Amino acid sequence: MIGSLRGQVLDRSPDGDLLVEVGGVGYRVAVPPRTLVAAGEPGEPIFLHVHTHVREDAIVLFGFATSEERSTFEALLSAHKVGPTLALGIISHLTPMALRRAIASNDVDALCAVPGVGKTTAARLMLDLKNKLVGEVDPESTLAAVNGDAAPVGARADVRTALANLGYAPEEITFAIQDLPDESDDASALLRVALKTLAGAR
């Protein structure tokens, strides 16, 4: 089983794959978009933390810039009905920290912003990953949020709602709030930070 690769970039594909040469052998590795963007030009050195996924018909390598991303990806694979494609999609849209925050705060909308994740899948992820990523999460409150009986509480949820009301797309909202401080309960201040983040990204 391959756990890491250190070599040089041979090629980058628009499909999200890197071709990495190690000792004269080229390895095709599926990576998140931010890893693909950060990869150097052909000939430049690269190091990837690798998860080796074995199927009946193929062996597929998934590469990550950090061990935290790889461990989060592997935690996602352990969840009910989550395969590598969906796990990579979640990692591509949410950093490990943002995913932990979403699960800890029962932020169903953050997970539903990922293509292929509906409310049922989001609820299942929160239950399956509660101990592996963020510790205990109350299953009843998670299911209540999915059923519409409750909503994510706190300043971050207020910011998400405000940005949605301003017309921002779900992926923009996820990007804007993923690094907001957890300790702040000042929604107005957090909203200003989020709007600055979005302005700088455009």
43: three-class secondary structure by DSSP = coil
In the chain, where the domains are located: 4-65, 68-152, 154-202
- For 150, left (φ over 0), alpha (ψ -120 to 50), or beta? beta
pTM for the model: 0.68
Fold for 68-152, please state it: DNA polymerase; domain 1 (1.10.150)
Per residue of the chain (202 residues), what is the pLDDT tens digit? 899 999 999 998 878 899 999 999 999 999 998 888 888 788 999 999 999 999 888 899 999 999 999 999 999 999 888 999 999 999 988 888 888 888 887 788 888 888 889 888 888 888 888 777 765 444 444 444 444 443 344 677 778 878 877 777 777 788 888 777 766 777 888 888 888 888 776 5
The residues pairing with 9 across neighbouring beta strands, listed in sequence order, are: 20
State which fold the 4-65 domain adopts: OB fold (Dihydrolipoamide Acetyltransferase, E2P) (2.40.50)
Pairing type for strands 17-22 and 59-64 reads unpaired
